[in-house]
Chains A and B, each alone.
Chain A
Amino acid sequence: MKRTILAIALVCAAAIAFAQTPERPPIKIGFMVPLSGANAQNGRDILNGFLLLLEEAGYQAGGRRIQLIVEDDEGIPAVGLTKARKLVERDQVHMMGGPLLASSAYAIAPYIHAQQIPMVYPVASGDDLTQRRRSKWIVRTGYTSSQPNHPFGEYAYHTLGHRRIATIALDYAFGWESVGGFERTFLEQGGQITKKLWVPLSVHDFAPYLAQVSRDLDAVYVLFIGRTALQFLRQYQEYGLKDRVPVIGMGTTTDEHVLPAMGDEAIGVTTALHYSGALDTPANRTFSAAYRARFKRVPSYYSESMYSGGKWLLTAIEALKGNVENRDVLLDAIRQAQPTGLPRGPVTIDEYGNPVENIYVRRVERVNGVLQNTVIATLPNVSQFWKYNPVDYLKQPLYAR
């Protein structure tokens, strides 16, 4: 008798122990950015931010282990599509994050939509991804190209006091949409744009354009990125323009991915973006310190993008207690997630799947010998539609040349 009871007790104990460790399979997150080719470093920054977040979470959320599957999309749209297929069909990921370039983002969007995979876009900023060609399966956690520029156009007119401006920007959608947004609000205030110069992406020598900058302008609005930003500001100073016509522009021009390589030529350049590495808030100080310690680099807006973007995924997984198998439920959870403590400040996602967030006006200064984007103004709660009615806004064509 005693034995029987003991045996039953043992079986029960074993059954309970067994039931308590229902080792559920890991949640798979697919992630793609360029890790080779010309945009490799930017892609690496985005990935690093995500890695930092996952490490802080111990690769766990909602009681389940998280498995990250990383693919290199090489910055080529066709490759991106192939890699997206691989992640969805072979790896059977539950959700995705990426890519970097708007071209890749547009290329994979129809596929993601058809496959119904919840995905966050941390960086790709093509306006129409969350406007005229939006998909409910794609939640952007970054910004639209025109988003920082709408308020910045008004800021340039009223606060900076500029009246006559010329623009010099890279000749592709990112440039057109950014300049378009700036131009719209700047003209509405009564400003004047005397000349719009479009620079091909392959350009190295900006001399032919610099010779056309009239020295009686109030400012030049520029949009550059990566090495073009470095070359442009260097050559702008070389031609003696720096002390005569101030440079304002899109935040990528002085973003921390290229700022450490710059010299005094960058000082005083005033730009707008939804993040600054020098943003002086507790959340950003913590993030910045952790990122520097882990990767020995200053965080750029790319680094912050997926650290924050990943929080939408983790918050949703927590809310569902790890039950992410139903995609409709997962998508709702991602859209309703309201992660807090983001380095860039408070963010909400609008019904079109794009953030409403702070835009920071930043001026490059040298602090303790290091260049940084000092925040000189915070423009709160900026929507992708600015002050316009979304329905009317979407009836207008996309900003173009």
Chain B
Amino acid sequence: MTYLITQTLNGLFSAALLFLIASGLTLAFGVMKIVNIAHGSFYMLGVYIAYTVILRTQSLLLGAAAAIVVVSALGFVMQRFFLRRFGNDPLAQMMMTMGFALLFRDATLMIWGGDPFTLQYPGWLRGSMEAGDVVFPYYRLFVIVVAALVGVALWAINEKTLLGARLRATVDDPEMASAMGINVTLLSGLVFAAGAGLAAFGGVMGGPILGGYAGLDFDLLPLAFVVVIVGGMGSLKGAFVGSLVVGMIDNYGKALVPELSYFTLFAPMILVLALKPTGLYGRA
């Protein structure tokens, strides 16, 4: 029982982190059909920027704010001045994001060097909750709650606001939305920037546990893609459910059959693709 509770909590933490990364990826895909290979780089840049700010200010909050602002701006510029030039050519866009990913990777190495680091826990979240034999760190609980709040906020924006309505219209039919007077180009830039910012925020949230290091970008990218493919590309609900499914399966897979941990991670993806190629909540 202890084992089940602990591993489920661990799975929830994985899911929380995955959701922060994958939601931005799926949003960008939904609106622009961009398969963003540089999404892992946004996550990585988030950690590094936060690290620099936290070294000077000792504040995780300021670090997170700086990471979100800088990386969102970067995402906006990237979309506005580069990706948009390839309007309807997804392959060219993908290759361009790939190029950016390599660029970010080398730039990170040049600016920050290759030494790994972790961010400090905020003081009030140090330590672990202990109930009987179940031990669970407070900070991980905090990340689960934060990710849930982000999920609710995204849902509310998408479903309850005018911006969300425009967003949904654009996802459904960009040409028609444009004809109805929605500024699709601006909206695309904003969504891409928001996705980048979310990934950076995910990086900061994961920072005290996973830290930052050279190669972080491409370590996390496959996980985010598995989530998005299982959940359905472009669907926020899909990203939510996909994160839970992948987080749980990955965690239990590693715990029960560690030798097969790659298999247990990718098996659900293959299964979903075989049965429902658009993903759980995706549209054809």
B262 at the interface (CB under 8 A from A): yes
User: Given A205-B209, A231-B209, A40 and B219 touching (CB < 8 A)?
Assistant: no
CB-CB under 8 A from A41, the residues of chain B are: 113-115, 214
Selected from B14, B109, B118, B214, the residue in CB contact (under 8 A) with A230 is B118
- Residue picked from A204, A226, A231, most chain B C-beta under 10 Å: A204
B99 at the interface (CB under 8 A from A): no
| Bound Cα distance from A197 to B219, whole angstroms | 21
| Bound Cα distance from A205 to B10, whole angstroms | 9
CB-CB under 8 A from B10, the residues of chain A are: 205, 207-208, 211
A238 engages B117 (CB within 8 Å): no
| Bound Cα distance from A202 to B262, whole angstroms | 10
Which DSSP category, helix, strand, loop or mixed, fits chain B's interface? helix
| Bound Cα distance from A226 to B216, whole angstroms | 12
A36 engages B106 (CB within 8 Å): yes
CB-CB under 8 A from B115, the residues of chain A are: 41, 257-258, 260-261
- Expressed in whole angstroms, the minimum distance between the Cβ of A254 and any Cβ of chain B is 13
- Residue picked from B116, B208, B211, most chain A C-beta under 10 Å: B116
CB-CB under 8 A from B139, the residues of chain A are: 238
B211 engages A227 (CB within 8 Å): yes
CB-CB under 8 A from B258, the residues of chain A are: 197-199, 208-209
User: Given A205-B13, A238-B137, A211 and B255 touching (CB < 8 A)?
Assistant: yes
| Bound Cα distance from A40 to B130, whole angstroms | 40
Selected from A39, A211, A231, A240, the residue in CB contact (under 8 A) with B3 is A211
Q: How many A-B residue pairs have CB under 8 A?
A: 101
CB-CB under 8 A from A212, the residues of chain B are: 255
CB-CB under 8 A from B7, the residues of chain A are: 208, 211
| Bound Cα distance from A44 to B115, whole angstroms | 11
| Bound Cα distance from A154 to B7, whole angstroms | 35
CB-CB under 8 A from B220, the residues of chain A are: 204
A208 engages B135 (CB within 8 Å): no
> How many of chain A's residues have a CB under 8 angstroms from any CB in B?
35
Selected from B113, B118, B130, B140, the residue in CB contact (under 8 A) with A234 is B118
B213 engages A226 (CB within 8 Å): yes
* Residues A20-37 near B (CB distance < 8 A): 36-37
A283 at the interface (CB under 8 A from B): no
A208 engages B251 (CB within 8 Å): yes
CB-CB under 8 A from B214, the residues of chain A are: 37-41
A369 at the interface (CB under 8 A from B): no
* Residues B99-115 near A (CB distance < 8 A): 106, 109, 113-115
A239 at the interface (CB under 8 A from B): yes
What are 16 A-B contacts with C-beta separation under 8 Å?
A36-B109, A39-B214, A41-B113, A41-B214, A208-B255, A211-B255, A212-B255, A227-B211, A227-B213, A230-B116, A231-B209, A239-B137, A240-B130, A258-B115, A261-B116, A261-B117
Q: Which B residues are closer than 8 A to A by beta carbons?
A: 3, 6-7, 10, 13-14, 106, 109, 113-118, 128, 130, 135, 137, 139-140, 206, 208-211, 213-216, 219-220, 251-252, 254-255, 258-259, 261-262
